[in-house]
Amino acid sequence: MTKPEIIGSARSTYTRVVRMVCEEKGIDYTLKETTLGSPELRAIHPLGKMPVLRHGHVELFESKAIATYLDRSFAGPIVFPSDPRLATLVEQWVSLVNTVMDRTLIRTYLYAYIAAKTLDGRPDRAAIEAVLPAVREQLGILDRAVEETGYLVGNQFTFADINLMPILERVRLAPEGAEALSAARHLAAYYDAHAARPSFAATVPPPGPPGWTRRG
């Protein structure tokens, strides 16, 4: 069987999510580096977002769909539980993180550091201060969610955790985010524990300032 080819960027949080699934399951894959809107992406994703997957005759876009395909198509640890209750809890957390928390933590908070700068080139402090209450609230929600077992769902590492970890790493790059994460004691311990996983270490982005990529 041909290797799955992931097309995206090592700096993209959602490309990393798909790569982590491959690493967790021991899937031999290739990563083809590209930029947003590239012909390689647009050939599969109608909006040119990343990542996309090519595997033989299978072409997919959107990280959740790609991860589901990989989990069902390859042997190795299951990242989407078969138990209906646990499976729907994974869906619940992935939906909340992708539709609400990613928008707050990455697209608004970190955007103010990365892209939405003032005329003198400094971070947009007004935007940062405005979003900080939501940042702290949402990290608090996650802190309570992982308090009991150290996982978002049940007592096992699932796609819900894979989907969250790259976002938390980005949050730690900015001072207020690092402080808020450190203050969320259970979430901080959760991050430290799962950051030690081989799948996380193997997909660390290249050094340098955090990149800006749209979710795929």
The domains of the chain are located at 5-73, 84-201
pLDDT score for 95: 98
| CATH 1.20.1050.10 applies to domain 84-201 | yes
Above pLDDT 70, what percent of the chain? Answer: 93
- The CA-CA-CA angle for residues 134, 135, 137, to 5°, reads 60
pLDDT score for 207: 77
14 and 215 in contact (C-beta within 8 Å)? yes
CA distance 48 to 38: 6
Q: What does the block give as tokens for 106? A: 């990455």
pTM, rounded to two decimals: 0.93
pLDDT tens-digit profile of 127-166? 999 999 999 999 999 999 999 999 999 999 999 999 999 9
pLDDT score for 115: 76
CATH topology (fold) of 5-73: Glutaredoxin (3.40.30)
pLDDT tens-digit profile of 43-66? 999 999 999 999 999 999 999 999
- The CA-CA-CA angle for residues 171, 172, 177, to 5°, reads 65
- The CA-CA-CA angle for residues 136, 201, 156, to 5°, reads 65
